[in-house]
Amino acid sequence: GMLYKPGKSGLGRLIRSAVEESARRHRGRNTNLGMTLLMTPLSASAGIAIGSGDFSRKALRSGVSTIINGSTPEDTVELYAAISSSNAEVGKSRSFDVNDPRSQQKILEEEMNLQDIFEVSKWDSVARELVTEMEVTFTIGLPALERGFERTGSFRSSVLRCFMEILARVPDTLIERKNNHETAIEVSNEARAILEKGLKTRDISAFDAKLCCEGNRYNPGTTADLTASSIMLAGLEGFFLG
């Protein structure tokens, strides 16, 4: 776009300031890290799209890639500061632990930009989303919202459909982190079965009760993040307005 210069987006700083502001408003707790990681590049991509005059989905997707690829090691250091300050249950790649003070030095020495760090962390669905031009948001989440809205005209039920379709097709990596991969697969299979039965209220209520039990061990938090980015994309396109 006309306004974008590689290395000048300040993406890491934007993520950090959003995370810190969220923590301030929620008395130190931060459940918005994943959403912030997804929405900030999407917002920046929308800015590129406006600047270039091309607001197609293809342009929005490639804009995310441009922003992530054009980031700097300094952006990564800011990202790590944001994750560390949020106390969120993310941030350990195989080589770079946000809570290890040597990580910052290593990031700068090895010149790891956001593309590099998300690539080595892509076992996590949010990180993977950012190195695949937001594949789940664009190819699962947004179409599910559209289908739901066409069928019901209800924002609430279309968001529910979006959440359940993402969960059915993409095992939740927060559930995996708190339990194991098999548990994440089981939850996805249950979501798929509920969808196949037509999203009956009784089934959803029972599923919800199960996911909330045992101290939130089965909380599909990554699915919620991907649902939020799908809603944001729909909003950017003005979908629910017309």
Structural domain boundaries enclosing 198: 136-241
Query: Does 6 fall in a domain?
Result: no
23 and 125 part of one domain: yes
Read off the pLDDT of residues 111-142 as tens digits, 9 standing for 90 and up. Answer: 999 999 999 889 999 999 999 999 999 999 99
Residue 241 has pLDDT above 80, yes or no: no
pLDDT value of residue 7: 60
Query: Does 118 fall in a domain?
Result: yes
Answer yes or no: pTM beyond 0.75: yes
24 and 124 part of one domain: yes
168 and 110 part of one domain: no
Read off the pLDDT of residues 142-178 as tens digits, 9 standing for 90 and up. Answer: 999 999 999 999 999 999 999 999 999 999 999 999 9
Name the pLDDT band for 67 (thresholds 50, 70, 90): very high
Query: Does 3 fall in a domain?
Result: no
86 and 159 part of one domain: no
Percent of the chain with pLDDT over 90: 71
Report yes or no: 134 and 159 within 8 Å, Cβ to Cβ. no
Query: Does 5 fall in a domain?
Result: no
Query: Does 1 fall in a domain?
Result: no
